[in-house]
Amino acid sequence: MTHDPALEAHEHAEHAEHAAHANDPFISQVSITVAVLAVLAASVSSLETVESGRAITSASEAVLSQDRATDTWNEYQADSLKRHLYGIAAGGGGPKAAGYARTASEQTAKQTELRNRAREEEADRDRLMTESRVHEHRHHWLTAAGTMVEIGIAICTVAIITRRRQFWLGSILLAVVGLGLFAAAYLT
């Protein structure tokens, strides 16, 4: 069974419309509340999905940045070995010693570039992991917000069946809690 917030919102709105035909002002008020809560639940659920996707995407991009950093550090180490070998060869003297010394110097310059590039990739990884944690944090708050609003919808149904105002007020309270959790998702 799939969870389609838009379809659920439409179904709740239809149920509310049918209940409103009873010409009971209380039922009409609760029905309107159901419709509003259904739209709110669909909106929160959509944002929850977006934040979840962004968390996964940022984490995946962070892994790729780490892979690039690792590859660059590996190249840095290989060039370090080459530099040492050319340095040893240059120190041994002979007709090619000047060429070996020049190559060792070039390896040193290349290593500086590689070190900087690896550090940039690591900084990018850290930034992306922070982004991922922010999106994951929002996702959790939005999950709780959506749950509160959906429970509020269910309590509205109980209010319609029992015609008890306390249930309706309870559902509004749950919606307010859900809105508070929604706000917390983007403020904390």
Query: Which positions ≥6 away from 106 have C-beta within 8 Å?
Result: none
Tens digits of per-residue pLDDT, 17-49?
Answer: 665 555 789 999 999 999 999 999 999 999 999
pLDDT in tens, 78-94: 999 989 888 888 888 88
| Residue 31, domain extent | 5-187
pTM of the predicted model as reported, rounded to 2 decimal places: 0.74
The number of distinct structural domains making up the chain is: 1
Distances (CA, A) of 50 to 55, 68, 100: 9, 27, 56
* pLDDT, average across residues 168-172: 97
Q: What percent of the chain has pLDDT over 90?
A: 72
% of the chain at pLDDT higher than 70:
88
Residue whose entry in the numeric block shows the structure tokens 């940039």: 120
